């Protein structure tokens, strides 16, 4: 039986990885189109952007193994994007970190990580559902 991995440990380690990469973490505001630098604290906060990083890592791991990392995201109207990372843990800590770091590396550019680009990693690793209807956006 697997146990939940500490989100604090994941956030702290991801923060050290991002800091060590020397990349500026940025986010494009979809409403205005402006790109702004994001603090590492906001990038790695469960009610900040951590869920985006973990969702991309989950997609990478799911593409490779067919199973996720036990990511649970919950609605939170006070969170930056309206939801928060609540839990991870179907796999070891090292697996969560390696999958998430791989997602970051796939999205990163020299000197910058545009968080919005993690969406492309997620989409590339997430197959569209098969149905009789024309494929639509994946929720």
Rounded distance, CA 25 to CA 38, Å? 6
Rounded distance, CA 91 to CA 7, Å? 13
- Mean pLDDT over 64-91 rounds to 94
Continuous H helices in the chain: 7-21, 40-44, 50-65, 93-107, 118-125
Single pTM value for the model: 0.87
Q: Is 63 helix (H, G, I), strand (E, B) or coil?
A: helix
Closest CA to 56 of 17, 26, 110, 97: 97
Q: Is the pLDDT of residue 122 over 90?
A: no
Higher pLDDT, 130 or 52: 52
């Amino acid at each position: 039986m697997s146990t939940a991995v500490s989100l604090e440990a994941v956030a702290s380690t991801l923060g050290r990885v991002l800091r060590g990469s020397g990349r500026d973490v940025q986010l494009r505001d979809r409403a205005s189109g402006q790109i702004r630098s994001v603090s590492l604290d906001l990038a790695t906060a469960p009610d900040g952007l951590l869920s985006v990083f973990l969702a991309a890592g989950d997609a990478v791991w799911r593409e490779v193994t067919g199973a996720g990392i036990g990511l649970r995201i919950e609605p939170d109207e006070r969170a930056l994007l309206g939801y928060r990372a609540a839990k991870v843990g179907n796999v070891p800590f090292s697996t969560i970190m390696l999958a998430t770091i791989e997602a970051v590396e796939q999205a990163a550019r020299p000197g910058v990580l545009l968080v919005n680009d993690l969406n492309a990693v997620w989409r590339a690793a997430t197959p569209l559902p098969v149905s009789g209807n024309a494929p639509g956006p994946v929720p």
